[in-house]
């Protein structure tokens, strides 16, 4: 599509319902009360000249360009700050206004470089536009007065430049950082002629509080803040709307192109998940697609100790297929399996599970949700009937109370966190339950009412204590429970949580949370209005992960916080398409749409369409596949877009499992850690190089659109298709839309989904079918999907992972803003400027006891293994708790994590590991050996020179 | 502000405690900046993160307000502070010449502190003594009709 | 199957049983078996049954009660 220039109405819309009628330039306009005159004019197609106004920000009224004349009012009010009134008569163009506007522009241009023709913003500059719009022909001040033309540019940020000589001090950047992002990193320093934009305390952007979200660059009307890519490459010439491939927020972007070269990603204002905002990753960190480490040719090798050999696609596919066939013949049908990717599209994931079920003939297929939100799937299905969150992101705008449990949204879901902070700044109350003092607890202009810094592993105890307060203090929404839930189940549950052992006072002994804090938090959640729970992996990655999800569902049901805006249970899904991967039937026990494989009716529909008999028994989950491999029963694995050796727990065990297999096929962008043990490497494609759909944490299905030809030659779906055909199970799709049509025909909750509908609507949230043709924003409105909401008891069972004299500290893990998961993508971008190694956070008391100072190398040891990394001493963790991230393979953080997992889903207990920390000299023997092994495993044989 | 207070050396904990006492006020930032300057003689750069932390603002927020008001200084002033009015009414009554004379006498330009730390000369814009200009504040005490002998007298007060 | 692998199965089964044991009513054995039938691959269920038949050391009483309710692998599976 041609370059999309979204209309800018000047000021945000009004939410009022009352409609007002006025006359602008002789035309009658109707608009909601509270709308600005500027916006009302734009609604009828009249663009009043403006510089400091933009519709993503509140009106500011500083540039004085948008003046209008209003009958009956003296002077020339600014149209951006003037709300419409019934019967108002406005003129936007008069001789007086023309003179005033020219005067304003003369002042601006008298202090502005006149290098338009060679300026990066040439063609995309609002100052240019306004000079034209007001008919500027001369600047009577001349150019010899005091000016800012010699101001030096700040190029510290790798992705954008700040050139103060081109700044008109409209404050849009400051306001964007405040209102949209919520970081407040910018200000105007000084005043009058000396006013200038300052990042923090007049520092280079990279040293300031800036988080590089790009909102200021987007808001800037001149070249003052410009993407480095625009400076280097030039203006783009066409756009493609697509969806980000990083986190579960699923921001919509315009990929702005020159031919097949991506110039920049600009957030799309109409994106329902992000509403025109972005974070550093989606906005800027897409360079990994053209990184030199990207593998573009298929490779095979007989033994993992051999160097890789580049071969043709047909040879690689044929080799992989023949190996899987051989292995199944020798070791049985169940000796092979597949892992789908939560980064690849719904269509691609669907094909991988189809290949496994129809091609391999078993149900040994799983996905990374195993290690993150599988407890969400189980817990919410059991209690509500749907394996997904209940609301959309917009719902947060109606929340009165927000409870964040085991999630760190400012780092993990930054764009959604910005929306949450907007609501918090409006006065919503905040409860944070997390062992660590995450940013959200106290960040400029936002402060949690209650922070419950519980001991890792005690989530269920704290949730039970909250329930105890709600039940024993009479805070239950009885009407809701009687109508929507099973009353007897509720009574059983209420009796259980009311037991004294579940009181906040009794729980303090092992949770470490003061009882009064628990009581106040519980009262706030139950009585503060529409209360929403947002939770993440700090809830699910525990041996009682599913139990905690159930406990959360219980709290929401007991207080009537479901089926309405502003409330609900909201799992913050991690990856761009992990929700989709689950929806597509990536689990070994479920077909698409979460129907059990033993359900003869559901399975029958698939069997009929695919013309093949399918296995009715559940297959192996990833940890079970590895166990079976070590036992010698599981020999072949097809892995698409997943790096289990870096991301799964207990690295030694994963390595042992992979090493025991005879055919490991890795389909990925780079030679990752898992590829060290692979026999076939099939180069995959990025989200920029294929068509398809992703489903975000809101159940929102959004289009991914191809902007460039796949550098590796094929979309991932085409590769799976080739492999399936080579295995003897025919697939003949010519376009991903056909795959979605098949998904829709087989999956009742997706029945109304098609590429055509998505093109028309932009996105839909499933369920999308005859009952809800345009999708379902908020679920369980009148009743739960399973009928009555189900209360289940959640007895607290302390994890087996205990501290002791050898391992006296508890390790928990998380993420940072600039890096993403295993870092495969972000490590290959300039984001390493912010975070180029994993650090161990340790409390000053624990550090002092061990002689550890900030920056020292320390060893991190558990009963599973040992690794080394550098320490950072901070009070964000409590004494007795340490924390790190897992973005860098050299850290080998998962050498330390254990095999303990959630009882229901085997989701690993990443968040609770008993460790000891001590000073060390540097990397461990394991890390050194591992790195040497990695180097050897990544050798690619040079082709023999021709005779 | 009356006579120049003794300047306490910068102390981060003390600064944090002073700011903490402003938290309950409506609009605590300006009172916090005032008390810091009154206690330490200026608002040094190190104060900004502390004020931000205690009041839960960003450093940018604090920096913007701090730099907007010329009366907040970032480095300590001299032992005596002479603020000479340069606004329109005093200009009409000859303040430009008066200021030039003061600059020559002190060996300073407006905005500077003498290298021996004895005195700081600042321009201010309207002390509300318009009918009696040129006017000035010396360590907070007002002086007016500053021409000829009166100006000479003032200078002897600045540097006894 | 090695000792370590058996221990793992025993631990997982006991964990599952513990959850259903905590629910009201007396359907815990059935619920445990249902969970294992729904989520454990046939080989894993078989290994558990074999371990139970060989004395079931380490298995909680509830798991032992659930084992007879485990569904054997369907022999009519696709070839």
Cβ contact A334–C18 (<8 Å):
no
User: Residues B140-157: what's their mean pLDDT?
Assistant: 93
Outline where DSSP puts E strands in A489-643: 531-535, 569-571, 590-591, 595-596, 636-640
Strand partners of residue A937:
none
pLDDT computed for residue C51 by the predictor: 95
Cis peptide before A767 (omega within 30 of 0): yes
From the list A546, A618, A795, which residue is nearest C22 (CB)? Answer: A795
pLDDT computed for residue A947 by the predictor: 57
Higher pLDDT, B157 or A282: A282
From the CA of A793, how many Å to the nearest CA of chain C? 6
| Distance of alpha carbon A421 from alpha carbon A428, whole angstroms | 9
Contact A89, A51 (CB under 8 A): no
Task: Give SS3 for A441.
Answer: helix
From the list B45, B56, B60, which residue is nearest A187 (CB)? Answer: B60
From the list C5, C19, C42, which residue is nearest A617 (CB)? Answer: C42
Interface test with B, best of A190, A200, A209 (most B CBs within 10 A): A200
DSSP state of A908: B
pLDDT over 90 at B21, yes or no: yes
Contact A531, A565 (CB under 8 A): no
Task: Give the residue from A411, A468, A463, A460 showing the smallest Cα distance to A440.
Answer: A411
Contact A463, A552 (CB under 8 A): yes
| Distance of alpha carbon A328 from alpha carbon A322, whole angstroms | 10
pLDDT level of residue A946 (50, 70, 90 thresholds): low
pLDDT over 50 at A727, yes or no: yes
User: Residues A655-670: what's their mean pLDDT?
Assistant: 97
From the CA of C26, how many Å to the nearest CA of chain A? 13
Which residues, 6 or more positions from A289, have their beta carbon under 8 angstroms from its beta carbon? Answer: A262, A669, A686, A688, A689, A711
pLDDT over 90 at A944, yes or no: no
What does the block give as tokens for B30? 């300006």
In angstroms, the first-to-last Cα distance of chain C is 25
From the CA of B155, how many Å to the nearest CA of chain A? 31
Cβ contact B58–A200 (<8 Å):
yes
From the CA of C52, how many Å to the nearest CA of chain A? 19
Instruction: Match 């090695």 to its residue by tokens.
Output: C2
Angstrom CA distances, A568 to A130, A390, A449, A925, stand at: 46, 6, 20, 48
Interface of C with A (CB under 8 A): 1-2, 5, 8, 11-12, 15-16, 18-19, 22-24, 35, 37-44, 73-74, 77-79
Chain Cα centroid distance, residue B123: 9
Hey, is the C-beta of A898 within 8 angstroms of any chain C C-beta? no
pLDDT over 80 at A783, yes or no: yes
CA-nearest residue to B52 within chain A is A444
pLDDT computed for residue A541 by the predictor: 94
Cβ contact A201–B64 (<8 Å):
no
Q: Nearest-5° angle of CA A912, CA A570, CA A509? A: 35
| Distance of alpha carbon A574 from alpha carbon A581, whole angstroms | 12
pLDDT over 80 at B23, yes or no: yes
DSSP state of A612: S
pLDDT level of residue C79 (50, 70, 90 thresholds): very low
pLDDT level of residue A924 (50, 70, 90 thresholds): confident
> What pLDDT digit, counting tens, does each position of A503-545 carry?
999 999 999 999 999 999 999 999 999 999 999 999 999 999 9
From the list C23, C39, C74, which residue is nearest A793 (CB)? Answer: C23
Strand partners of residue A748:
none
pLDDT over 50 at A644, yes or no: yes
> What pLDDT digit, counting tens, does each position of C36-64 carry?
999 999 999 999 999 999 999 999 999 99
* Run of H or E including A551: helix A545-558
Cβ contact A188–B64 (<8 Å):
yes
CA-nearest residue to A618 within chain C is C41
User: Residues B34-63: what's their mean pLDDT?
Assistant: 96
| Distance of alpha carbon A419 from alpha carbon A426, whole angstroms | 11
Task: Give the residue from A822, A535, A868, A515 showing the smallest Cα distance to A669.
Answer: A822
Outline where DSSP puts E strands in B12-90: 80-85
Task: Give SS3 for A719.
Answer: helix
DSSP state of A200: T
Interface of B with A (CB under 8 A): 45, 48, 52, 56-61, 63-64, 67-68
* Run of H or E including B103: helix B95-106
What does the block give as tokens for A676? 């060290």
Q: What count of other Cβ atoms lies within 10 Å of the Cβ of residue B71?
A: 11
Per-residue DSSP letters for A25-76?
Answer: TTEEEEEETT-BHHHHHHHTT-----SS--TTS-----S--SB-EETTS-S-
Contact B118, B78 (CB under 8 A): yes
pLDDT level of residue A739 (50, 70, 90 thresholds): very high
User: Residues B60-79: what's their mean pLDDT?
Assistant: 94
From the list B45, B60, B67, which residue is nearest A184 (CB)? Answer: B60
> What pLDDT digit, counting tens, does each position of A544-556 carry?
999 999 999 999 9
From the CA of A284, how many Å to the nearest CA of chain B? 24
Which chain A residues touch C8 with a CB distance below 8 Å?
627, 899
**Contact C/B (≥3 CB pairs under 8 Å):** no
Which chain B residues touch A183 with a CB distance below 8 Å?
58
pLDDT computed for residue A75 by the predictor: 95
| Distance of alpha carbon A111 from alpha carbon A932, whole angstroms | 59
pLDDT over 60 at B2, yes or no: no
> What pLDDT digit, counting tens, does each position of A802-815 carry?
999 999 999 998 88
| Distance of alpha carbon A522 from alpha carbon A431, whole angstroms | 9
> Of the ranges A647-656, B141-150, C67-76, which one carries the lowest mean pLDDT score?
C67-76
Cβ contact B59–A198 (<8 Å):
no
Cβ contact C2–A617 (<8 Å):
no
| Distance of alpha carbon B66 from alpha carbon A712, whole angstroms | 55
pLDDT computed for residue A125 by the predictor: 96
A15 burial type by CB count under 10 A (0-12 exposed, 13-18 middle, 19+ buried): exposed
Interface test with B, best of A179, A195, A199, A201 (most B CBs within 10 A): A201
| Distance of alpha carbon A430 from alpha carbon A422, whole angstroms | 12
Hey, is the C-beta of A899 within 8 angstroms of any chain C C-beta? yes
pLDDT computed for residue B6 by the predictor: 60
Q: Which chains touch A (3 or more CB pairs under 8 A)?
A: B, C
Cβ contact C41–A334 (<8 Å):
yes
> Of the ranges A13-22, A72-81, A137-146, B126-135, which one carries the lowest mean pLDDT score?
A137-146
pLDDT over 60 at A794, yes or no: yes
pLDDT computed for residue A2 by the predictor: 87
> Of the ranges A101-110, A142-151, A585-594, B11-20, which one carries the lowest mean pLDDT score?
A142-151
Strand partners of residue B124:
B85
What does the block give as tokens for A97? 């206004």
Sketch out chain A's domains with CATH numbers.
Answer: 1-93 (3.10.20.740), 308-372+577-694+709-738 (3.40.50.740), 374-571 (3.40.228.10), 809-936 (2.40.40.20)
| Distance of alpha carbon A717 from alpha carbon A347, whole angstroms | 7
User: Residues A767-773: what's their mean pLDDT?
Assistant: 93
């Amino acid at each position: 599509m041609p370059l999309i220039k979204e209309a800018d109405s000047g000021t945000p819309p009004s939410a009022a319902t009352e409609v007002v009628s006025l006359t602008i330039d002789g035309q009658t306009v109707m608009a909601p009360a509270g709308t600005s005159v500027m916006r009302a004019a734009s609604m009828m197609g009249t663009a009043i000249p403006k510089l400091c106004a933009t519709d993503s920000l509140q009106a500011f009224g500083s540039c004085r360009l948008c003046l209008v004349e209003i009958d009956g009012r003296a002077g020339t009010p600014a149209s951006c700050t003037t709300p419409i009134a019934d019967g108002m008569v406005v003129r936007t163009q008069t001789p007086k206004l023309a003179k005033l506007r020219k005067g304003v522009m003369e002042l601006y241009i008298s202090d502005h470089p006149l290098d338009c023709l060679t300026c990066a913003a040439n063609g995309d500059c609002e100052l240019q536009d306004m000079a034209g719009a007001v008919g500027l022909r001369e600047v009577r001040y001349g150019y010899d007065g005091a000016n800012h033309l010699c101001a030096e540019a700040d190029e510290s940020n790798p992705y954008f430049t700040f050139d103060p000589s081109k700044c008109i001090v409209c404050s849009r950047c400051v306001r964007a950082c405040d209102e949209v992002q919520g970081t407040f990193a910018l200000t105007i320093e000084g005043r009058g002629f000396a006013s200038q934009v300052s990042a923090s305390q007049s520092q280079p952007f990279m040293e300031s509080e800036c988080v590089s979200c790009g909102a200021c660059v987007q808001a800037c009307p001149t070249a003052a803040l410009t993407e480095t890519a625009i400076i280097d490459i030039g203006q783009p010439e066409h756009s493609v709307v697509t969806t980000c491939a990083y986190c579960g927020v699923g921001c919509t972007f315009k990929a702005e192109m020159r031919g097949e070269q991506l110039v920049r990603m600009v957030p799309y204002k109409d994106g329902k998940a992000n509403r025109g905002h972005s974070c550093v990753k989606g906005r800027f960190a897409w360079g990994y697609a053209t990184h030199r480490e990207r593998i573009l040719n298929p490779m095979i090798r007989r033994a993992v100790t051999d160097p890789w050999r580049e071969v043709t696609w047909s040879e690689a596919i044929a080799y992989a297929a023949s190996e899987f066939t051989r292995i199944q013949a020798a070791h049985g049908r169940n000796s092979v399996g597949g892992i789908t990717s939560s980064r690849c599209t719904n269509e691609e994931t669907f094909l991988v599970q189809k290949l496994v079920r129809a091609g391999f003939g078993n149900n040994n297929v799983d996905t990374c949700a195993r290690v993150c939100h599988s407890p969400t799937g189980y817990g919410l299905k059991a209690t509500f009937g749907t394996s997904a969150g209940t609301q959309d992101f917009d719902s947060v705008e109606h929340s009165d109370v927000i409870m964040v449990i085991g999630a760190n949204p400012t780092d993990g879901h930054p764009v959604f966190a910005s929306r949450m902070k907007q609501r918090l700044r409006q006065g919503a109350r905040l409860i944070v339950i997390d062992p660590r003092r995450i940013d959200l607890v106290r960040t400029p202009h936002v402060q949690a009412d209650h922070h419950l810094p519980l001991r890792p592993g005690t989530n269920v105890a704290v949730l039970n204590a909250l329930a105890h307060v709600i039940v024993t203090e009479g805070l239950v929404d009885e009407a809701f429970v009687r109508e929507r839930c099973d009353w007897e189940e509720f009574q059983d549950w209420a009796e259980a949580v009311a037991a004294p052992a579940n009181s906040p006072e009794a729980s303090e002994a092992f949770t470490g949370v003061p009882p009064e804090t628990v009581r106040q938090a519980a009262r706030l959640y139950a009585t503060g209005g529409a209360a929403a729970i947002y939770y993440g992996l700090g809830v699910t990655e525990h041996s009682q992960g599913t139990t905690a999800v159930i406990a959360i569902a219980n709290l929401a049901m007991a207080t009537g916080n479901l089926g309405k805006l502003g409330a609900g249970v909201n799992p913050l899904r991690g990856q761009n398409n992990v929700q989709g991967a689950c929806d597509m039937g990536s689990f070994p026990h479920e077909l698409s749409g979460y129907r059990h494989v033993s359900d003869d009716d559901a399975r029958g529909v698939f069997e009929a369409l695919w013309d093949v008999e399918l296995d009715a028994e559940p297959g192996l989950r990833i940890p079970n596949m590895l166990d079976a491999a070590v036992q010698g029963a599981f020999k072949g694995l097809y892995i698409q877009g997943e790096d289990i050796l870096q991301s799964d727990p207990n690295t030694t065990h994963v390595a042992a499992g992979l090493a025991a297999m005879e055919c490991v096929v890795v389909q990925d962008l780079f030679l990752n850690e898992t590829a060290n043990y692979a026999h076939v490497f099939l180069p995959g494609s990025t989200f920029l190089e294929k068509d398809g759909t992703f489903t975000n944490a809101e159940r929102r299905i959004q289009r991914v659109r191809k902007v460039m030809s796949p550098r590796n030659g094929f979309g991932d779906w085409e590769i799976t298709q080739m492999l399936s055909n080579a295995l003897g199970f025919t697939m003949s799709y010519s376009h991903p839309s056909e795959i979605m049509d098949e998904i829709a025909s087989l999956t009742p909750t997706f029945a109304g989904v098609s590429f055509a509908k998505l093109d028309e609507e932009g996105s839909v949230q499933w369920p999308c079918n005859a009952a809800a043709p345009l999708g379902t924003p908020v679920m369980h409105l009148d009743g739960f999907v399973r009928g009555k909401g189900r209360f289940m008891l959640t007895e607290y069972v302390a994890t087996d992972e205990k501290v002791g004299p050898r391992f006296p500290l508890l390790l928990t893990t998380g993420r940072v803003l600039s890096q993403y998961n295993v870092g495969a993508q972000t490590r290959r971008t300039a984001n390493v400027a912010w975070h180029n190694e994993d650090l161990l956070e340790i409390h000053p008391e624990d550090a002092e006891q061990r002689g550890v100072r900030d920056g020292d190398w320390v060893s991190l040891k558990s009963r599973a293994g040992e690794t080394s990394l550098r320490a950072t001493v901070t009070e964000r963790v409590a004494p007795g708790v340490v924390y790190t991230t897992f973005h860098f393979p050299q850290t080998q953080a998962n050498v330390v994590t254990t095999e303990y997992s959630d009882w229901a889903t085997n989701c690993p207990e990443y968040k609770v590991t008993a460790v000891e920390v001590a000073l060390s000299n540097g990397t461990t023997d394991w890390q050194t050996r591992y790195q040497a092994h990695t180097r050897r495993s990544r050798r690619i044989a040079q082709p023999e020179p021709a005779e | 502000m009356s006579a120049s207070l003794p300047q306490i050396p910068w102390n981060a904990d003390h600064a944090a405690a002073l700011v903490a006492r402003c938290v309950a006020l409506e609009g605590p930032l300006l009172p916090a900046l005032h008390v810091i300057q009154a206690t330490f003689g200026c608002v040094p750069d190190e104060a900004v993160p502390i004020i931000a932390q205690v009041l839960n603002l960003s450093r940018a927020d604090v920096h913007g307000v701090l730099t907007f008001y010329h009366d907040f200084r970032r480095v300590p002033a001299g032992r005596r502070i002479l603020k000479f009015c340069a606004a329109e009414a005093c200009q009409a009554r000859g303040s430009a010449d008066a200021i030039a004379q003061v600059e020559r006498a002190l060996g300073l330009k407006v905005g500077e502190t003498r290298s021996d730390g004895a005195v700081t000369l600042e321009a201010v814009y309207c002390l509300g003594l318009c009918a009696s200009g040129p006017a000035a504040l010396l360590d907070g005490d007002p002086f007016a009709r500053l021409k000829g002998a009166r100006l000479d007298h003032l200078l002897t007060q600045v540097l006894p | 199957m090695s000792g370590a692998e058996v221990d793992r199965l025993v631990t997982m089964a006991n964990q599952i049983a513990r959850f259903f044991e905590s629910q009201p009513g007396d359907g815990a054995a059935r619920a445990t078996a249902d969970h294992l039938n729904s989520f454990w691959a046939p080989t894993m269920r078989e290994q558990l049954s074999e371990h139970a038949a060989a004395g079931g050391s380490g298995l909680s009483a509830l798991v032992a009660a659930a084992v007879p309710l485990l569904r054997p692998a369907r022999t009519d599976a696709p070839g």
